[in-house]
Amino acid sequence: MKKSISKILDELKRQSVLEKTKNVKHEDRMLAITEDTGRFFYAVLTGVGAKNALELGTSVGYSTLWIAAALLKNTKTPKILTVEKNPSKVARARRNFRRARILQHIKIRQGRILDVLSAMPKRAVFDFVLIDADKENGPAYFDLVLPMLKVGGIIATDNMLYPEKYRKIMKRYSDYISKKPAVRTITLPIGNGQEITVKIK
Ligand SMILES: C[S@@+](CC[C@H](N)C(=O)[O-])C[C@H]1O[C@@H](n2cnc3c(N)ncnc32)[C@H](O)[C@@H]1O
């Protein structure tokens, strides 16, 4: 992994721990994937040769950095599109990407995910999608991104198991996508719980 990326990942990991001991407002918190989850994405995306990705819920860019690190193993010109509604988080993410020297590979869309996805072409261009935003719209996000994913591509969804308050809604999400003939899906106990969904046709 590029040193410039691992340096910012380490910094954000420390920040995320500190945040839990301080009085930080919910909307300003990173709420990032765990380090294990990042390592898991890194291994899988490197292994399958992923070159481009879509991320719903950037926050300050911790998960984006892991994804970028993996894609850069497969191509010199990876492309990541990431969506975030909170302007101050967008500014923090941009700064982190610049410092990690990956800003040129990342397009940040500031706005509501449903608006952004609805305006995008329904072409199958992405190798990987990470869904890590509000939980109520999970099924709607899934239906909108599935046509944008290549066959053989992967959708990962965070928070399937933790925090526990999300368990019911995420179980409904998993049941919903399990019924789709175009995918195979499984819930894995990695980090906060990952739904790993592969598009098979
Ligand atoms: C769990 S955090 C993302 C963490 C990030 N993926 C990481 O691991 O570093 C969820 C983010 O989604 C954003 N978000 C929630 N609902 C959204 C929506 N409807 N449109 C755009 N962004 C949204 C929040 O502002 C928050 O920053």
Q: Which residues are registered as beta bridge partners of 19?
A: none
Residue 19's pLDDT is what? 82
Nearest CA to ligand 1 atom 14: 133
| Closest atom, ligand 1, to C-alpha of 89 | 27
Quick one: CA dihedral 26, 27, 28, 34, positive or negative? positive
Centroid of ligand 1 to alpha carbon of 74 (angstroms): 26
Residue 10's pLDDT is what? 96
Helix, strand, coil percent values for the chain (each to nearest 5):
50, 20, 30
Task: Enter the tokens of residue 35.
Answer: 């380090």
What's the distance, Cα to Cα, between the start and end of the chain in Å? 32
pLDDT at 192 over 90: yes
Query: Which of 20-29, 36-45, 185-194 has the least mean pLDDT?
Result: 20-29
Please state whether the peptide bond connecting residue 163 to the residue before it is cis, i.e. omega within 30 degrees of 0: yes
Task: Enter the tokens of residue 120.
Answer: 């995008």
Average per-residue pLDDT in the chain? 96
116 Cβ below 6 A of ligand 1: no
**Residue 160, helix vs strand vs coil:** coil
Task: Enter the tokens of residue 41.
Answer: 């994405």
128 Cβ below 6 A of ligand 1: no
**Residue 73, helix vs strand vs coil:** helix
Nearest CA to ligand 1 atom 11: 57
pTM of the model: 0.96
Distance, C-alpha 151 to centroid of its chain: 19
pLDDT band (50, 70, 90) for residue 20: confident
Please state whether the peptide bond connecting residue 78 to the residue before it is cis, i.e. omega within 30 degrees of 0: no
Residue 181's pLDDT is what? 97
pLDDT band (50, 70, 90) for residue 22: confident
Q: Which residue has the tokens 């975030």?
A: 84
> Ligand 1: which of 34, 132, 144 to mutate, judged by most atoms within 8 Å of the beta carbon?
132
Residue 25's pLDDT is what? 79
Instruction: Give the whole-number percent of the chain exceeding pLDDT 70.
Output: 100
pLDDT at 21 over 90: no
42 Cβ below 6 A of ligand 1: no
Domains (ranges, CATH) in the chain?
Answer: 3-199 (3.40.50.150)
Torsion of CA 165, 139, 36, 76, to 10 degrees: -150
d(C-alpha 158, C-alpha 32), whole Å: 10
Give pLDDT tens digits for 66-97. 999 999 999 999 999 999 999 999 999 999 99
Give pLDDT tens digits for 25-39. 777 788 899 999 999
Give pLDDT tens digits for 29-67. 888 999 999 999 999 999 999 999 999 999 999 999 999
